[in-house]
Amino acid sequence: MDRAERGWGLPASDGLRAALTRTLGALGPGDRLVVLGLDGVGIGGVELRRTSAGIVEGAALPPGPHEPSPEVTAALDRAGAVHLVRCDGSPAAATALDRLLSHRGDAETVDAPGADVVAEVRAAIADEPLRYLHELVTVQVAPDGRLSLGTQPLFAQDTVRGLAVPISVRIAPGNPDGTAFALVCQVETRLRLVSVQRLRLPPGDHELMVELRGPGRVRILGAAERPEPDHRPWEEICGTLPPVLAEPRPAHLVCAIEDGPGSPARISRVRDLVAETLAEGAGRDVRVSLVRYGPHTRDPRSADPGAEVLLWEGGPRDALDALRDLAGKGPADLGYHRCAQVECALTLVRAHARRGLPPTALLVAGDRPAHPDRTAPHERFVCPRRTDWQPLIRAFEAEGTRLGALVGAAPRQAEPFWRTLGRDVLATTDTADMRAVGRSLGVLEDGPRRVPFPIVVTAPE
């Protein structure tokens, strides 16, 4: 077979890039193209396929010697079109060309000395004009707050790479996984997913640029962090979309911690809860107050220490620092073993709650119940201030404060006091699921409420 029969001697204007552009342009959905480079070292190349979204995807074929490997042979059998690119004039490349042409006599041959076949293929794909309109998946907010998925046009049909367009997006709070920037195109009446990138942006409005890098490929500019591919299943991404966009309400978590034997475990569990609010509270006003209390003194000659406010309406990070300091001091002495000054801690919380943000949740972590306000049949030592804890609990309930208790005993074995105080959640210190505790107290979301895509607010009609 001579050079003319093989198709050598193509005009310069119809070299490798022109041949690739011409064949890619004729490649329909599901069609495959194999491009093999031949030189003195061996055979290597790529197998290309056009998807239903009009995007050309490729997979490298394993390089090998001049005898076609089983993978190359299988790719040749699947392909609708084949390009054989002779990259040098070595006898080995000529022998490989003869063998490949004996298998695929309809292959188009191209003489391209020194060509990087893979790089040429990538460039030809990137230079293709778009076959379909490319759009960005967005979340639309109706005037009544209902959410729905929509799209924002980015690049029209026949656009080529290099064009950049501005977009104005709003990022909802509470999405530590990042926001999905998903590219789709409409083929006939169906949307086809093209690519998904994940970008971590702070909540609020952002002005970004989207640059077309080729069909199905965009680069997002203007963010502090670089986007990364998002490999989560599409159903998982869309499944976090809530039906309504509710503005996050401020939360004020008050934790009263009994200081004494067992307090290291109590401090650790409260720290777990505060850390959860910090992880989930991006964009939400979460405030934390901490109160330490212990036993009343039974010695009339000694001053009663009383409960102590360690932090009031601080941020979660401030609370974590205060809890670390409290843990570093070590537990206080046991003191009176039957009761602790819970009632005085509740009084202190009530006094501070008169200013600032009222508590939305109160968690008491302890083992000993409150003192009675007067001598009871089973208890001879009463609160020195004659404080009754029951009106305090009723006042919190009347204000809508959620109440929880973290105790050493199992909930069924806890004393009636703890069952009353733990109206919304009663958990055991050693085994409590603090995320579940936080959800019961309303300081953590009941379930996924993350808006996974950038928001576009629709104007009222």
Tell me the mean pLDDT in the region 327-335. Answer: 81
Q: What's the confidence (pLDDT) of residue 412?
A: 61
Tell me the mean pLDDT in the region 17-46. Answer: 94
Strands (E), 142-285: 147-155, 164-171, 179-187, 190-199, 204-214, 217-221, 228-229, 251-258
Any bridge partners for residue 365, and if so which? 257, 406
Q: What's the confidence (pLDDT) of residue 10?
A: 40
Q: What's the confidence (pLDDT) of residue 25?
A: 94
Residue 47 or 416, more confident? 47
**What pLDDT, in 10s, does the model give residues 382-436?**
787 788 899 999 999 999 999 999 998 766 656 788 989 999 999 999 999 999 9
Give the separation between CA 453 and CA 325, rounded to whole angstroms.
40
Q: What's the confidence (pLDDT) of residue 196?
A: 95
DSSP string covering 37-65: EE-SS-EEEEEEEE-TTS-EEEEEEEEE-
Contacts within 8 Å (CB) and 24+ apart, 214-220: 214/125, 214/126, 214/127, 214/128, 214/161, 215/54, 215/55, 215/56, 215/125, 215/126, 215/128, 215/130, 215/131, 216/53, 216/55, 216/134, 216/183, 217/126, 217/161, 218/134, 218/154, 218/181, 218/183, 220/181
| Position 284 confidence tier, pLDDT thresholds 50, 70, 90 | low
**What pLDDT, in 10s, does the model give residues 113-142?**
988 999 999 999 999 999 999 999 999 988
Among 7-21, 46-60, 409-423, the range with the most confident prediction by mean pLDDT is 46-60
Q: What's the confidence (pLDDT) of residue 202?
A: 85
> What's the gap between Cα 14 and its chain centre?
48
Give the separation between CA 376 and CA 374, rounded to whole angstroms.
6
Q: What's the confidence (pLDDT) of residue 333?
A: 77
Share of the chain above pLDDT 70, in %: 89
Give the separation between CA 333 and CA 338, rounded to whole angstroms.
13
Residue 391 phi, psi (nearest 5): -60, -30
Q: What's the confidence (pLDDT) of residue 77?
A: 95
Mean pLDDT (the chain, rounded): 87
C-alpha separations of 172 from 48, 175, 248, 449, 456 in Å: 39, 7, 10, 10, 11
CA nearest to 45, candidates 145, 136, 122, 160: 122
CA nearest to 47, candidates 25, 31, 69: 31
Is the model's pLDDT at 279 over the cut of 60? yes
Tell me the mean pLDDT in the region 33-61. Answer: 93
Q: Which tokens go with 244?
A: 């309504």
Tell me the mean pLDDT in the region 89-104. Answer: 92
| Position 374 confidence tier, pLDDT thresholds 50, 70, 90 | low
- Structural domains in the chain plus CATH codes: 3-126 (3.30.420), 134-239 (no CATH), 251-430 (3.40.50.410)
C-alpha separations of 16 from 3, 119, 206, 297, 349 in Å: 17, 11, 43, 92, 79
| Position 8 confidence tier, pLDDT thresholds 50, 70, 90 | very low
Amino acid occupying residue 246: A
Burial of 274-308, coded b for 16+ CB within 10 Å and e otherwise, reads bbbbbebbbebebbbbbbbbbbbbeeeeeeebbbe
Among 149-163, 352-366, 436-450, the range with the most confident prediction by mean pLDDT is 149-163
Tell me the mean pLDDT in the region 40-48. Answer: 93
Contact 39, 112 (CB under 8 A): no
Question: At 236, is the secondary structure helix, strand, or coil?
Answer: helix
CA nearest to 298, candidates 347, 239, 255, 339: 339
**What pLDDT, in 10s, does the model give residues 206-254?**
999 999 999 999 999 999 889 999 999 999 888 888 888 766 678 899 9
Is the model's pLDDT at 446 over the cut of 70? no
